[in-house]
Structure formats: C-alpha cells, structure tokens
Amino acid sequence: MIKKGKETFSGVNKPKRTPNHPTKSHAVLAKEGTTEKLIRFGQQGVSGDKKDTARAKSFKARHSDNIAKGKMSAAYWANKVKW
C-alpha cells in the first residue's frame, strides 16, 4: 500500500475510482523512470464509452497529442480507463 495525500494506492500505475472527489472520477499514482506523480482524471459522474462510437472517436482525436505523451498525462489514463 502506498499513501499519497489522502489516497491509498495498491501500487504504481494502477488507477482507482475516487467517488468522494468533487470533480475527478479517477486517480493514479503514475511512475515513469524515477518520476512519480499523482494524476487525477475523468469528469465525475460522466461515463466514458468503451465501444467504437463517434463520441469515443471524437475524444481520441481531440486528445491524441496528450495521449501520446504517455503515462505522465491525464489524457493517457482517461483513454485507457474510460475510453
């Protein structure tokens, strides 16, 4: 167990739901090399769309540059977990 702020994580790069956070639906303790960072992502109360719909395609196109940045970006995690 890793504690970061009020959150407790079972490990690095393992996203978890944050139902009590006022604005963000998920959090992950991202680690790449020696850099470690708490990333909150996803709008609270809004579901993603795992199917290949126009809504999902639009999200992926709109955030493609940030998704490509890798594990240290919120868009990468939102794409992986919610979309």
Mean pLDDT along residues 1-15: 85
pLDDT in tens, 22-54: 999 999 999 999 999 999 999 999 988 888 899
User: In this structure, what DSSP letter does residue 11 have?
Assistant: S
Query: What is the rounded distance in angstroms from the CA atom of residue 53 to the CA atom of residue 12?
Result: 30
What the block records as the tokens of 52 is 């290949």
pLDDT at 8: 86
* CA dist list (Å): 51 to 4, 38, 55: 33, 28, 9
pLDDT at 76: 98
pLDDT at 4: 78
Mean pLDDT along residues 5-12: 84
pLDDT at 35: 94
